[in-house]
Amino acid sequence: MAGKRKVVTFTVERVIKDDTLPGGPRERTIFYKAPFDRCDREKDYGEAWKIFDKRNNNVTKS
């Protein structure tokens, strides 16, 4: 089973001071639940630009 990974689950929490609402700052806890995804942004942009180019070619041929 090459390439198969064990999925690890856990929670990370972060306490912040939120001053975005009227009434002054308040403390908020943000929870992040694993598994986290490691994105490959260069690959994602490459795929997006292929789609944009394809759409643009369809528009200019019409």
The residue segments making up the domain with residue 23 are 11-61
Mean pLDDT, rounded, for 34-62: 85
**2 inside domain:** no
Q: What is the pLDDT of residue 62?
A: 56
The confidence band for 35, taking pLDDT boundaries of 50, 70 and 90, is confident
What's the pTM?
0.43
**3 inside domain:** no
Distance (Å, whole) CA 3 – CA 10? 22
Tell how many helices (H) and how many strands (E) occur in the chain: 1, 2
Percent of the chain residues past pLDDT 90, beyond the cut = 58
pLDDT digits (tens, 9 = 90+) for 4-29: 777 778 899 999 999 999 999 999 99
What the block records as the tokens of 20 is 């975005």
**Total tally of structural domains belonging to the chain:** 1
